[in-house]
Chains A and B, each alone.
Chain A
Amino acid sequence: MIEVQSISKHYQHGGKTIAALDNVSLQIASGEIYGIIGRSGAGKSTLIRCLNLLERPDSGHVSLHGDDITRLDERALQQRRQRIGMVFQHFNLLRSRTVAANVRFPLELAGGQSPAQMDARVDELLALVGLKDHKHKRPSQLSGGQKQRVGIARALANHPDLLLCDEATSALDPETTDAILALLADINRQLGLTIVLITHDMRVIRQLCDSVAVLDHGRVVEQGEVLDVFLAPQHAVTQSLLAETGMGQGALQGIWRQRVATPVIKLTFVGEPTLQPVLDKVGREVGLRVNLLSGTLSEIKDTPFGQLLAGVVASDVDVSALPAIFAREGVRCEVL
Chain B
Amino acid sequence: MEEALRPRLVSAERPVDGQALAAASDVELTAACQNGSQAAFRELLSRYRKPALALAYHMLGDAEDAEDAAQEAFVRVFQAIPRFRGQAAFSTWLYRIVTNTCLGRLRRRREKISLERVSEPRSADSPSHQVTNALMTRQVLSMMPPKLRTVLLLRVEGRLSYREIADALGLPMGTVRSRLSKARTAFRKLWLDLSESGD
Q: Do A and B originate from a single complex? A: no
Residues of A within 8 A of B (CB): none
